């Protein structure tokens, strides 16, 4: 049974000199030739569009019984709300990390917006069903250094029932995709308990983190990040548990965040704004933005300067 969910990132192909991907809602066009064989921030041939996009095959060869499942406008709203709630705890100065110690307050932290190009690239990778394997490069002209977070949420085979919830509804639907996305973001937020002030002030390389999974939280709270785009896929896979083999259904979530943490740099700005430089006094928001209730900076025009 094929489930078709209206999405922001459905891929449509037109016959032309170059393959092109059209966002079904905005009708903005992305040309594959913009990434392949070369994208200015990637090594030749390493961009996700070069390595995985195939206009003749929507899903990769590792996708067992794939179900077409994509991000809906309602899901976008939920993603943005969850991510900005996480960031807002830092900009409000109330977030607690390891040992329940208050983490440094963030100033000038932007409210995250949706980016269709990042979402399209995330969907291309999600449709390969590669588990937790990240792509090599997902840069765009606008965002040279996006980070990537991947999660997999399992359901019962073959009818897509929840595993631990008292809900026997069969079939994959928007509610279950939203559940998977929500589970991913909540799990990432819980990882704040592994984060210290030292990590905030000078982010280590991910491989040097005390808990590698911390990166999923750190990606979401990067101060320089302004946009996010996510994709989802749904498929069946074999599960091997000791001597027992079984089949389970899986929803894979891939999110690209516009700017990733850099080793040796602060994750976000922790210095209150100096007077006379145009930043708001309470939240440190730059010109061209306004303060939200939880002290994030919401862009009001394209004329803004980050701290």
**How far, rounded to the nearest angstrom, does the alpha carbon of residue 233 sit from its chain's CA centroid?**
14
What does the mean pLDDT of the chain come to? 89
CATH number of domain containing 238: 3.40.33.10
**pLDDT at 302 (0 to 100):** 65
Residue 4: pLDDT above 50? no
Q: Is residue 287 part of a domain?
A: no
**CA-to-CA distance for 6 and 144, rounded, in angstroms?**
29
Host domain of residue 63: 11-257
In a domain, 283, yes or no: no
- As a whole number of angstroms, the distance between CA 264 and CA 201 comes to 8
282 is a domain residue: no
H-run or E-run covering 181: helix 174-190
Predicted pLDDT at 29: 61
In a domain, 166, yes or no: yes
| Residue 156: count of CB within 10 angstroms of its CB | 14
Beta strands 227-241 and 113-114 are: parallel
pLDDT digits (tens, 9 = 90+) for 100-134: 999 999 999 999 999 999 999 999 999 999 999 99
**Domain-located, residue 263:** no
Q: What is the pLDDT of residue 240?
A: 77
Local confidence band at 14 (pLDDT 50, 70, 90 cut-offs):
very low
**Mean pLDDT computed over 174-191:** 98
Bridge pairing between strands 227-241 and 244-257: antiparallel
Tokens standing for 115?
């980016």
Residue among 79, 175, 178, 70 at smallest CA distance from 127: 70
Residue range 130-149, pLDDT digits in tens: 999 999 999 999 999 999 99
DSSP 8-state assignment for residue 111: P
- Asked, for residue 112, whether it belongs to a domain, the answer is yes
Number of domains in the chain: 1
The answer to whether position 298 is within a domain reads no
Tell me what pLDDT residue 9 has: 35
Does residue 211 belong to any structural domain of this protein?
yes
What pTM, to 2 d.p., does this model score?
Answer: 0.89
Give Cβ neighbours of residue 93 (< 8 Å, ≥ 6 apart): 102, 105, 295
**β-strands 20-23, 289-291 pairing:** unpaired
CA 247-231-294 angle, 5° bins: 120
Mean pLDDT of the 288-306 span: 84
């Amino acid at each position: 049974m094929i489930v078709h969910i209206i999405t922001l990132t459905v891929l449509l192909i037109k016959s032309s000199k170059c393959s092109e991907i059209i966002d079904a809602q905005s009708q903005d066009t992305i040309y594959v030739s913009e990434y392949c064989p070369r994208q200015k921030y990637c090594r030749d041939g390493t961009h996700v569009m070069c390595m995985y996009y195939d206009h003749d095959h929507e899903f990769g060869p590792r996708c067992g019984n794939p179900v077409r499942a994509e991000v809906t406008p309602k899901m976008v709203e939920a993603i943005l709300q969850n991510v900005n709630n996480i960031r807002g705890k830092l900009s409000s100065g109330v977030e607690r990390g390891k040992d329940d110690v208050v983490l440094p307050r963030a100033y000038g932290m932007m409210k995250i917006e949706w980016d269709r190009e990042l979402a399209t690239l995330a969907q291309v990778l999600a449709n390969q069903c590669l588990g937790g394997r990240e792509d090599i490069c997902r840069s765009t002209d606008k965002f040279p250094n996006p980070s990537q977070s991947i999660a997999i949420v399992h359901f019962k085979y073959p009818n897509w029932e929840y595993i631990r919830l008292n809900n026997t509804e069969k079939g994959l639907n928007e509610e279950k995709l939203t559940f998977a996305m929500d589970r991913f973001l909540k799990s990432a937020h819980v990882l704040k308990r592994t984060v210290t002030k030292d990590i905030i002030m000078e982010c280590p390389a991910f491989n040097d983190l005390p808990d590698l999974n911390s990166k999923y939280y750190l990606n979401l709270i990067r101060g320089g990040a302004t946009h996010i785009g996510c994709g989802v896929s749904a498929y069946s896979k074999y599960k091997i548990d000791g001597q027992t083999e079984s089949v389970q259904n899986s929803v894979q979530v891939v999110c690209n965040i516009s700017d990733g943490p850099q080793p040796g740099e602060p994750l976000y700005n922790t210095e209150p704004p100096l007077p006379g430089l145009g930043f708001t006094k309470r939240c440190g928001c730059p010109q061209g933005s306004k303060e939200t209730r939880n002290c994030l900076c919401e862009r009001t025009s394209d004329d803004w300067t980050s701290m």
